[in-house]
Amino acid sequence: MIRVARLRSPPPATYHCAVVAARTYRAEAIVLKTNDFAEADRILVLFTRHFGKVRVVAKGIRRATSRMAGHAEPLTHATYQLAR
């Protein structure tokens, strides 16, 4: 799961963004920029249609056994689960 640094209000019902739980959202995004953070984390700058440009922290993504590492490369389009 990717932690969100800041999110705007939830999108209107007309958008195709799934609300998984009260504070969790699933949205398609493009990775614009990445910065290494701490020992195994990475800060991602995502662009989503619903929330705009969002900074998130991807926990544990730099570990050797992480299966999420390929989804955090710049210019990658994927569906992300975001938590406040």
Q: What is the pLDDT of residue 20?
A: 67
In this prediction, residue 22 carries a pLDDT of: 76
Domain holding 6, by residue range, is 2-83
Helix (H, G, I), strand (E, B) or coil at 55: strand
- Structure confidence at residue 4 (pLDDT): 58
**Interstrand relation of 24-37 and 41-48 (parallel, antiparallel or unpaired):** antiparallel
Query: What DSSP assignment string belongs to 39-52?
Result: TTEEEEEEEETTTE
CB 19 within 8 A of CB 84: no
Please choose, from the candidates 83, 58, 77, the residue with its C-alpha nearest in 3D space to the C-alpha of residue 68: 58
**Based on the structure, what is the number of domains in the chain?**
1
Q: Tens-digit pLDDT profile for the chain (84 aa)?
A: 666 555 555 555 545 567 766 788 899 999 999 999 999 999 999 999 988 999 999 999 999 999 989 889 999 999 999 888
How high is the pLDDT of residue 17?
A: 65
pLDDT at res. 2: 62
Instruction: Give residue 6's pLDDT.
Output: 55
Q: Do the beta carbons of residue 45 and residue 54 sit within 8 Å? A: yes
On whether the CB atoms of residues 27 and 8 are closer than 8 A, the answer is no
Q: What is the dihedral of CA 25, 27, 33, 34, to 10 degrees?
A: 50
What's 67's domain CATH number?
Answer: 2.40.50.140
